Chains A and B, each alone.
Chain A
Amino acid sequence: MAYIRAFGSYLPSRRVRNEELATLVGAAPEWILSATGIEERRYASAEDTVAGLGLQAAQACLNKAGVAAEELGMILCASGSSERFCPGPASQIAAELGLSATPVLDIPVASCGSLIGLAVAAQLAAHAGRVLVLGAEIMSRCIDLSPEGKDTAILFGDGAGACLVDANTGFARIADFQLHTDGTAAEILKIEQGRNHQNRIHMDGRSVILQACRKIPRVINELFERNGLTAGDPGTYLLHQANQNLIMRVAAALQAPEERFFINLRRCGNTSSASLLIAADEWHRSQNGTPSAPIVFSAFGAGLNWGALLAVPSP
C-alpha cells in the first residue's frame, strides 16, 4: 500500500507578467493569455539553483506532514532543467536536509517527471517507508527570450513541488497508475545542453498538442476501465499545467466536468515537472477537510512520456 500524506511547494518571488515578456518576444499580452491561459509566471534569481527550489518545497512538505527528514526512506527528484547532469539535484537536496545515507534518485524527465516519481514511490513505499517525491525546475534558463523563442518563452516559469508518499498513512491511497513512453516522437519536445552548458528547450508545439490531446485522455480512460470508474466519478483532476486550452480539451474528450480540473496556470505558468505537485499542493490547501472522491493525476511531456495515477480517499 502507498498513501499520499502531504504536499508542499515553493515559488520564487519574482513575478513576470505577460506585459514584461511581450516586448521581448514580440507578442501582445492579450494574445499570450488567450493562447496559454497564463497571465504571469515566477522566475528564479541568478543565485537560485534547481536544488535550492526543491529544498524549499521539500521542507514545506515535511513541515505539513510533521515528519522529520531523518524519517524519510528515499528521495526522488524530477527535473528537466537541473544545472548539473550527474549528480543531479536529489543528492544536494538530501545533503541540505542533513541526510548523508538516505538513498536518492534523480529523474531527469521534464513535464512528466513528478508523475513518474509518484508511480515509482508507490512501488517503493513498501520497502522505503516514506518516499519524498520532488519536481524542481528553473525553466526560465532554458528558454529564448526573443521573437524566435516566443512559443516556449511565453509558457514557462520556475518553481518546485513536493509530495510525501507513505506506506502506512495518508489522506488518499494510490490505487493504480499507468505510465507510457514513445521515443519515436522524442524530437518534438526536448531539452538539450547547448553552448556554455546552457540547457535549451526545443518544442514543435503543434505536434506536441496533437499528441497530448490524444494520449492524455486515453491513458486516463485506461485507469477508468481498469478500476470501474467513469469520468464523472473523480472529484478532482490534477494535470500537468501545460496550457489551459489543452486541459480544457482533455476535459471535453473525457466528458468530465471542467470545474473538477484544478488550474493554476494563470499565476504560475508551466513549471514543467514541478507543475503537477505545485497544483496538487495549492488544490489540497484549498480543501475543507479530506477529499471524499477519487483524485486523478496526469502528465505528458518530453520523452515522450505520459501517464496517469489514481488515488482514492483513505477510509
Chain B
Amino acid sequence: MEQHARILKILQRVSGKQVNPGQNESLFASGLLDSFALTDFVSGLEEEFGVTIPDSDLSARKFDTIVKVDAYLSAKTK
C-alpha cells in the first residue's frame, strides 16, 4: 500500500469517518482531528510506519494536512 493510502487509513480510523480530504485541506479546520484525535493520529503514524516521532516534532502544524504528513514521513523514512 502506498504511503498516502496508509496515512489515510490511520486518519479514517482515529477520526471515525470514511473521509478522503484534499491534499492541502486542514485536518483541523475541517473538523477531522481535534486535539486528542491528533495525539492518536501521531501515535498511529508511529506504529504504521515504524518510526519514532521525537518531542521536538510534536507540533500540530507538522500534521495539519495530508501533504505535510506525507512529506514528514518521507523525510523520516528515506
Given known A206-B28, A210-B42, contact A249–B58 (CB-CB < 8 A): no
Return the CB mask of B32-58 against A: 1 if under 8 Å, else 0: 001110110010000000000001101
Residues of B contacting A208 in the complex (Cβ-Cβ under 8 angstroms): 35
* A48 CB, min distance to chain B CBs, angstroms: 31
Q: Which residues of A contact B28 (CB under 8 A)?
A: 206
Verify if B74 is at the interface (C-beta below 8 Å from A): no
State in angstroms the CA–CA spacing of A215 and B39 once bound together. Answer: 12
Query: Does B18 make an interface contact (CB < 8 A)?
Result: no
Count A-B contacts at CB 8 Å. Answer: 42
B36 touching A211, Cβ below 8 Å: no
Interface residue A105 (Cβ < 8 Å from any Cβ of B): no
Task: Indicate the size class of the contact surface on chain B.
Answer: 10 to 19
Instruction: Tell me, in angstroms, the Cα distance from A3 to B38 when the chains sit together.
Output: 40
Residue from the list A204, A211, A245, A246 in contact with B55, Cβ < 8 A = A211
* Residues on the B chain within 8 Å of A207, using CB: 58-61
**B60 CB contact (under 8 Å) in A35, A182, A206, A214:** A206
How distant is the Cα of A129 from the Cα of B59 in the complex, in angstroms? Answer: 43
A27 / chain B contacts, CB cutoff of 8 Å: none
Q: Is the CB of A210 within 8 A of B59?
A: yes
Residue among B34, B58, B60 with most chain A CB within 10 A: B58
Interface residues of B in 51-78 (CB under 8 A from A): 55-56, 58-61
Q: CB distance B58 to A211 under 8 Å?
A: yes
Question: Taking the complex as formed, is A231 at the interface, i.e. its CB lies under 8 A from any CB of chain B?
Answer: no
